[in-house]
Amino acid sequence: MALQDAQLWVRDLTYNQVRDYVRKRYKSGKWEGKRKDFIDKCRQRYVKMDKNFPDKKSFQHPYYWAVFTVDGA
């Protein structure tokens, strides 16, 4: 159930939601080992995409969510 929930969550993310997530991470200062300029580039990209396609679900293709698998269960 949790695996399917994770897949559906990624699949159904809109640019608006991704922009909000990246913005929150940028402001928090928690970059999980990433450089601040990398996070800023991501933020700028999704802010731009959100302006053009706010409700587009950009991760619909299985390429983005099929990596969530169960191994060795």
The model's pTM is 0.58
Long-range Cβ pairs for the range 39-46 (8 Å, 24+): 43/19, 46/15, 46/18, 46/19, 46/22
Break the chain into its structural domains and give their ranges: 2-65
Q: What is the pLDDT of residues 4-61, one digit of tens each?
A: 888 888 888 888 888 888 778 777 776 666 677 777 787 788 778 778 887 888 788 8
